[in-house]
């Protein structure tokens, strides 16, 4: 357990980037887990003796020597005498990635497929662990040297956390392919190739390369390949396509159903009062007293009355926060203005009329309200498209859930990793 904690401390300092930036993330429309078919891997650690020693070593050394400095000296000396656990380690990434993490109806999911988006991250983790093991001074007293076993356990934990998503995706892809004729499969693959060419252009820009050879080299540095990126891209697209093609067709959403939803969810369509306005402000300062400020503001009002555009006058005379923008303020909800008297005026005065001179805490101003919305509920005609979208999304969720339930309950899934029980309830 102590060693696991040390690994966590070291790993947590490394950004979890992997190769996520290399692929567009497509959230699965349904995230459900499969029934467990094989006993899970045991991940609990039982290093009780080492944990007990790590917890008590500092106190024991202090009692024996009475010196924190001596404690550190002895700890460093002991570590220096230890053999670096990474000296004989050989990179097993290729072998490990070629092993099967799970099978879905006989179709394998390899470790490498699951870990591909974490490839760059795992390289960083491994290099950091090796660096610390080589230079034990980086550890605090009592912390053990990180080992290849720590790295292997972390790699297994990443698979454990991601395997359910890959099982679901494999189910969808295999289901889609099973219903296609050879010529349809060929057409589908051609379509994926066209889409991936656009993805290649995006990757080139992201990684600042000009051709596929340079792109491949950059991907290799991150622990992946262009083919791996393409495979993951294709599987994401195909799994989404399967949901749309194979699940039941959605029922038509009619007006009475939308109206019923609107009436039952009043809070969802409530709006607070808000206002748009323009302001010409002249501040009262030690250099500009109230009389001088009023004289300047009167000159501005005079020009407004002569027909000079508000924005032009504001830029000329105003020293308010939005003077450069012509004194224009965008939508502001009620309760957000520090000058409550001015806010009250903004929510009560007529539209497009210039106000009287308002005296604020340290300024004088005139304002003009250009638009205003009162508090209340949006009328149904304004939100019916939004209501339709909400109902359609919920309907698709139910269809997808039903389809996934049928897939999982008829699937044969084998894996050494633990999976939450798949118990989708009927709705």
Question: Per-domain residue ranges for the chain?
Answer: 2-248, 273-374
Print burial letters for 257-294: b (CB count within 10 Å at least 16), e (below 16).
ebeebbeeeeeebeeeebbbbbbbbbbbeeeeeeeebe
Checking 59-68 for CB contacts under 8 A at 24+ apart, the result is: none
Task: Indicate the pTM of the whole model.
Answer: 0.56
pLDDT value at 31 more than 90? no
What's the pLDDT band for 29 if we cut at 50, 70, 90? Answer: very low
Q: pLDDT tens digit string along 117-131?
A: 999 999 999 999 999
Average pLDDT over residues 367-379: 90
Name the least confident of 18-27, 142-151, 171-180: 18-27
Of 42, 16, 19, 36, residue with least CA distance to 167: 36
What's the pLDDT band for 36 if we cut at 50, 70, 90? Answer: very low
More confident residue, 301 or 239: 301
Whose tokens are 């999976």? That residue is 419
How confident is the prediction for the chain on average, in pLDDT?
81
Helix axes 2-11, 119-134, angle to 10 degrees: 120
How far is residue 30's CA from residue 33's CA, in Å, rounded to a whole number? 10
| Percentage, residues of the chain above pLDDT 70 | 78
Structure tokens at 103: 């099978």
- What burial class does residue 211 get, using C-beta atoms within 10 Å of its C-beta: 0-12 exposed, 13-18 middle, 19+ buried? exposed
> What is residue 57's predicted lDDT score, i.e. its pLDDT?
42
> What is residue 144's predicted lDDT score, i.e. its pLDDT?
87
CB 258 within 8 A of CB 44: no
> What is residue 341's predicted lDDT score, i.e. its pLDDT?
94
CATH class of 273-374: alpha beta
pLDDT value at 374 more than 90? no
How far is residue 88's CA from residue 86's CA, in Å, rounded to a whole number? 6
> What is residue 422's predicted lDDT score, i.e. its pLDDT?
52
CB 3 within 8 A of CB 144: yes
What's the pLDDT band for 43 if we cut at 50, 70, 90? Answer: very low
Average pLDDT over residues 6-26: 49
What are the distances in angstroms from CA 180 to CA 28, 176, 187, 189? 22, 7, 10, 12
> What is residue 55's predicted lDDT score, i.e. its pLDDT?
45
CA dihedral sign, ordered 143, 146, 149, 153: positive
More confident residue, 344 or 47: 344
Name the least confident of 245-249, 282-286, 324-328, 355-359: 245-249
Q: pLDDT tens digit string along 333-352?
A: 988 888 999 999 999 999 99
Query: At CA 214, angle to CA 209 and CA 215, rounded to 5?
Result: 75
Average pLDDT over residues 271-286: 93
Whose tokens are 């309200």? That residue is 369
> What is residue 378's predicted lDDT score, i.e. its pLDDT?
86
Q: pLDDT tens digit string along 247-272?
A: 666 678 899 999 999 999 988 888 88
What's the pLDDT band for 34 if we cut at 50, 70, 90? Answer: very low
Backbone conformation region of residue 292, classed left if phi is above 0, alpha if psi is from -120 to 50, else beta: alpha
């Amino acid at each position: 357990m102590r060693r696991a904690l040390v690994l966590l401390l070291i790993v947590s300092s490394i950004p979890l980037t992997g190769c996520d930036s290399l692929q567009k993330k497509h959230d699965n429309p349904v995230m459900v887990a499969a029934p467990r078919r094989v006993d899970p891997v045991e991940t609990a650690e039982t290093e009780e003796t080492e944990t007990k020693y790590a917890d008590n070593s500092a106190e024991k050394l202090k009692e024996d020597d009475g010196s924190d400095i001596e404690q550190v000296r002895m700890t460093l000396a002991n570590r220096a005498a230890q053999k670096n656990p990474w000296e004989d380690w050989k990179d097993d990434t290729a072998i490990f990635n070629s092993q099967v993490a799970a099978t879905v109806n006989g179709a394998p999911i390899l470790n490498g497929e699951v870990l591909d988006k974490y490839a760059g991250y795992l390289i960083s983790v491994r290099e950091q662990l090796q660096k610390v093991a080589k230079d034990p001074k980086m550890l605090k007293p009592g912390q053990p040297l990180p080992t290849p076993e720590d790295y292997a356990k972390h790699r297994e934990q990443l698979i454990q956390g991601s395997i359910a998503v890959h099982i679901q995706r494999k189910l969808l892809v295999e289901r889609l392919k099973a219903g296609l004729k050879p010529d349809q499969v060929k057409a589908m693959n051609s379509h994926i190739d066209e889409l991936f060419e656009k993805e290649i252009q995006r990757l080139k820009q992201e990684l600042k390369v000009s051709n596929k050879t340079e792109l491949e080299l950059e991907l290799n540095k991150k622990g992946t390949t262009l083919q791996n990126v393409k495979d993951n891209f294709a599987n994401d697209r195909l799994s989404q396509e399967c949901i749309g093609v194979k699940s039941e067709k959605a029922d038509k959403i009619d007006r009475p159903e939308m109206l019923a939803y609107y009436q039952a969810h009043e809070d969802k369509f409530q709006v607070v009062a808000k206002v748009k306005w323009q302001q010409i402000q002249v501040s009262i300062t030690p250099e500009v007293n109230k009389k001088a400020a009023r004289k300047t503001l009167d000159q501005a009002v005079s020009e407004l009355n002569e027909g000079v555009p508000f924005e032009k006058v504001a830029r000329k005379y105003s020293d308010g926060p939005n003077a450069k923008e012509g004194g224009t303020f965008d939508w502001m909800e009620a309760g957000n203005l520090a000058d409550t008297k001015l806010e009250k005026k903004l929510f009560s005065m007529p539209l497009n009329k210039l106000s009287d001179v308002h005296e604020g805490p340290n300024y004088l101003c005139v304002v003009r309200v250009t638009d205003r919305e009162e508090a209340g509920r949006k009328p149904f005609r304004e939100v019916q498209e939004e209501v339709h979208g909400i109902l359609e999304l919920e309907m698709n969720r139910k269809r997808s859930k039903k389809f996934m339930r049928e897939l999982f309950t008829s699937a044969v899934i084998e894996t050494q990793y633990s999976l939450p029980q798949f118990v989708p309830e009927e709705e």
